[in-house]
Chain A
Amino acid sequence: MTDDIHTLAGAYALDAVNDIERAAFTRHVAGCESCAQEVAELRATAARLADATWSAPPPGMRAAVLARATRTRQEAPGARERDRTAVAAAQRRWRRWTAAAVAAGIIAVGGAAASYAIQEQRVRDERAAAEEARAEAAAIQDVLRAPDATLRRHAASTSGTVTVVDAPSRDAAVVLLDALPTPGAHKAYQLWLGHGGAMTSAGVLAAGQTSALIPRLGNADAVGVSLEPAGGSAQPTDVVGLVALT
């Protein structure tokens, strides 16, 4: 799984990853000196691509930047060391879940959720959509980062895998459907929370949506996924995956 995340080195150096992947990769590098060397070199290489992008700045910019600098307090030397300490601490916090989460492809969840939310709301104000997507991605990241986050994977009864990361401290869970069959026309996947065998709906996934945040877990003891008529059902008809939370 180390190799798995390390293949992101090029995309990371090009800033072509989402926030969750960046965070996971940064922590990967913090614990791997040879990786840090490679990333530093690839970043330096990417920076050389800026050589080809000269463009004369607007005339007033020099004076404006210098004036802002005069008014801006600098970080004290030593910030770098504190930075590293913070990274090391963050790495310790993350180590527990990162390996498993990366193996499960969970790091993709934030990006998928963000692009889904953006697509869905294209007709609305773009800025608001981006804001919501960021909030959703942040909530997902918060669940994945929680100290008590637990990752559970179950094979779906059809094909593919249902992964649930639940964090009681956040009263929330993240669900990822990996390689499940597309629901087909007039069908959709619906999420469920189980309480001692009784199921309550936790939302219907849109076409193409493969991940979701369940914001209120309560005392649920299971997360279910079922195939339903588009629009969802009051009770699950065709359960394709049931993940116990205990």
Chain B
Amino acid sequence: MGDRARWEPGPDRPRAVDAPHADDADVLLRAVARGDESAFARLYDLVAARVFGLVRRVLRDPAQAEEVTQEVLVEIWRTAARFDPTRGSATSWMFTIAHRRAVDRVRAEQAAADRVRRAAASAADTPYDEVVERATARLEQQQVRHCLDALTELQREAITLAYYGGYTYREVAELLDAGLPTVKTRMRDGLIRLRDCLGVSVA
């Protein structure tokens, strides 16, 4: 079976292609909500590298990224009881917190105009190639990349600038020299296309 076929979502998808360790994270997070510190240590081992990678990618400053990552992980410990499995997986819940905290920090720290200038200077880079330190050939990375490649250029740029760059849609519109309604729409229909490509579903 070719790689392409394995990326297609479907009920008979090989288990390894699904969101990595989704069940483990769900079970661990529920144990953490009951105050289980050893479960929290195992959860750390499961997600810390991705949380740190994500926060570092948005902030671009390793020292700040370390600080924010610690805050995020402690917040996960503190608020684990809020996790609602009917609203998505545990990993989704944790990365939503991590992304939000990273974005809050980057917006608080840096004047909008400066960030727009900085992004414009590096706009030629393919955003999702920038800070991947470990060039591992992990299947889920390939899957995300494959699905990003399937988007239109504007959808992909709008989504990666917002998610990895921490920009608001207004800043993205400015960076891409596109209208606000267009950028809003491309973010939404691009995510819908990604959702379908990745086979993301919420109970």
Residues of chain A at the chain B interface (Cβ within 8 Å):
7-11, 13-18, 36-37, 40-58, 61-62, 64-66, 68-70, 72-80, 83, 111, 114-115, 118-119, 122, 126-127, 129-130, 134
Contact = CB atoms under 8 A, between A and B. Distances in A.
A11 B188 contact: yes
B69 to A, nearest CB: 7
Given A55-B131, A56-B49, A69 B77 contact: yes
Given A51-B144, A54-B49, A119-B113, A11 B169 contact: yes
Contacts of A72: 74, 77-78
A128 to B, nearest CB: 11
A119 B77 contact: no
B35 A74 contact: yes
A118 B37 contact: no
Contact of B78 (A52, A54, A75): A75
A43 B88 contact: yes
Contacts of B131: 53, 55
A57 B202 contact: no
B49 A14 contact: no
A18 B181 contact: no
Contacts of A73: 78
B7 interface: no
Contacts of A129: 111
Q: Which of B103, B111, B164 has the largest count of A CB atoms less than 10 A from its CB?
A: B111
Given A54-B136, A55-B134, A119-B112, A45 B40 contact: no
If over half of A's interface residues share one DSSP class (helix, strand or loop), that class is named, otherwise mixed; here it is: helix
B13 interface: no
B6 interface: no
10 contacts: A10-B185, A14-B169, A41-B200, A51-B20, A52-B141, A66-B37, A66-B41, A69-B40, A69-B73, A74-B77
B81 A76 contact: yes
Contact of B162 (A14, A58, A69): A14
**A-B complex: 7 closest residue pairs judged by Cβ atoms:** A10-B188, A10-B187, A53-B53, A55-B53, A47-B95, A16-B162, A14-B162
Contacts of A62: 41, 44-45, 48
A102 to B, nearest CB: 13
B133 A54 contact: yes
B159 interface: yes
B82 A61 contact: no
B188 A9 contact: yes
Given A44-B195, A51-B140, 15 more contacts: A15-B163, A42-B188, A48-B200, A49-B144, A50-B50, A50-B51, A50-B95, A50-B99, A52-B128, A52-B132, A66-B44, A69-B37, A75-B79, A77-B81, A126-B110
